Copies of this chain bind each other. A is one copy, B any other.
């Protein structure tokens, strides 16, 4: 589905054009065309392939989808894959933007993603002095926007982990916490798959030799790279803490088991002592003098009570109760 298709000249919006006009504008030296597709059909991709003369392997990747984030050069065309990640109920939905960047065109194909990039286009059009850099700047703006959207997800996981920690240390270890930790781990793997390869790939866009279309944009792409580095570090840190939290949970479960056992034992002892004494006086020996004493019964009850009170206090003191 075509979202929009606009021609720019010297950083300023020229006109909304139809795909069939692309051809004209692409060949004008100071112009570039920015086309945005969404969940593109095979026919649309084929049309674009022809208009922009895209490499068949890149188009094939865009058609298949589910690519790893990457930056590939096909001649002077750059093919960039970025994963979009959006919260979807309790899960994360992984979408993808495939960006084809040539000297005077940008084609972005958004797939399986709810949230669009009209704000990116708006921001670019508000800054004509930067948009003058051409298609490289548009690429930067797109990547920057996707990367900025990762931060709240990471912050959310951090907050979730903190809540689980508190609950683990406060209320005793429970099943729900293990499940939640596992859920965080799964989301981290998803995020890592989006961030890790992009971090590596984006290092090709600044520093030494960079693709033609990114020339002069080094500081901007280094900034994106730096943000990705921060994300990557946060992911690794949360990952490590999740692993630690899991073993802490195990330790606490084991100790809880221990405490339960002790508590049971204490109560069992409180019941077993009177039971044993009662058993003794339930014996049918003919010659048991206590049975005939006037106060044999209440004294026996008293002894039971005294022993149990003593034990109860003792168990309290050593922390079993």
A-side interface residues toward B, CB under 8 Å?
55, 57, 61, 67-68, 70, 72, 74, 165, 169, 173-175, 178-179, 181-182, 185-186, 189, 192-193, 196-197, 219-220, 222-223, 226, 229-230, 233, 237, 240-241, 243-258, 260-265, 267-269, 271-276, 278-288, 290-297, 300-301
Contact = CB atoms under 8 A, between A and B. Distances in A.
Contacts of A280: 274, 278, 301
Copies of the protein in its oligomer: 5
Contacts of A267: 265, 269
A245 B248 CA distance: 11
A310 to B, nearest CB: 14
Given A229-B68, A264-B261, A268-B272, A252 B186 contact: no
Given A197-B233, A268-B268, 4 more contacts: A72-B222, A243-B244, A246-B248, A260-B261
A90 to B, nearest CB: 13
Contacts of A70: 226
Nearest to A320: B260
B271 A273 contact: yes
A72 B222 CA distance: 9
A285 B280 CA distance: 11
